[in-house]
Amino acid sequence: MKKIVLIAVVLLSFRGVYAQTAELPAEEADLYSTRAEKFSDSTGALIQKEYIRVGNILDCVIDVVHYTDLVNGTKVSALRFSDALGKVAILDEDEIGALVISMKIIRDTVLVSAPSHYTETFFRSRCGFEAGSYYDKGVWKSYLKLRRHDNNSYTFMKKGDFDIFLKILGNARAKI
């Protein structure tokens, strides 16, 4: 068995692909799902977190977070979503633009369509956060989902919440 794993790793490395032979436990995999979280969890650093509230969609609170290593002055910013149940999602700064574009496309193109079948449209971030819509029984339903495999982390939005959400994202980008 070890020989097969070694051969697979060697073959994959020749193709320029990095392979791991062991998976991280789910808790550790979640811990480093974003660059901002990895920076925040750095050892040998004095990390300061500054939370700036930029808005909320129903029970989902949205903050800009500035992480600063007070020893060397390095800074990282991110967008933090949290709900009333304590679920949290962190989006790296470089993911926010793609989220804004995706939400505009959903609002302007997707929500005005009428597919003939069940249809899903969503944006997913590195940490598993989703924002999207699905068409079922003649109606579009929009949502934010903070944890990828957690059906208790949904916040369902009305059509008008998209404009509010886009305004919040614009505020967030200005504060990053």
Cα three-residue angle 125-126-131, rounded to 5 degrees: 15
The band of 26, judged by pLDDT with boundaries at 50, 70 and 90, is: low
Residue 57: its pLDDT value, please? 94
In a domain, 157, yes or no: yes
Which residue segment(s) compose the domain that 123 sits in?
24-175
Q: Is the pLDDT of residue 102 over 80?
A: yes
In a domain, 118, yes or no: yes
What is the reported pTM? Answer: 0.78
How many distinct structural domains can be found in the chain? 1
In a domain, 6, yes or no: no
Residue 11: its pLDDT value, please? 34
* Mean of all residue pLDDT scores within the chain: 84
What is the CATH number for 170? 3.30.2450
Q: Is the pLDDT of residue 15 over 80?
A: no
The band of 98, judged by pLDDT with boundaries at 50, 70 and 90, is: very high
Cα of 89 vs its chain's centroid, Å: 6
Region at 155 (left for phi over 0; alpha for psi -120 to 50; beta for the rest): beta
In sign, the C-alpha dihedral spanning 166, 141, 122, 41 is: positive
